[in-house]
Copies of this chain bind each other. A is one copy, B any other.
């Protein structure tokens, strides 16, 4: 099986509220924008979908999904420590809750976390050991622990 992710779908309580945060608040452009689902391009060949959790649950069709903050995080890596502060501030202005202010990360960079209106955790990070080549290949230096 070829390793790839095409779409990360967040099951949200209110698509309009999620849209307000990501599209109006953060200014992220949509690829497809409808009342019931919004798709945003967040990488090379990668979409973020905002879809009502009931619709997502019905589409999967295997019973209820869990409540509470999902046991995942989406990392938004940036090129400098200043950018970590800037993105966290922009997220907060857009309606996010800062759940971990910017601080030293175990991997030697700077990190913080915000929660979107549904509680999904985003890490905003500057990790000098994570590099993306022109071909998209990622290298990661040893994680200090």
Contact = CB atoms under 8 A, between A and B. Distances in A.
Interface of A: 1-11, 26-29, 31-32, 34, 36-37, 39-49, 53, 56-57, 59-78, 87, 90-91, 99-100, 106, 113, 115, 120-121, 123, 125, 130, 132, 135-140, 142-143, 145
Most buried by B among A27, A44, A135: A44
The 4 closest A-B pairs by CB, nearest first: A66-B68, A44-B136, A44-B44, A11-B71
Instruction: Work out how many copies of this chain go into the complex.
Output: 2
A29 B70 CA distance: 26
Nearest to A105: B59
Contacts of A64: 68-69
A140 B49 CA distance: 12
A43 B45 contact: yes
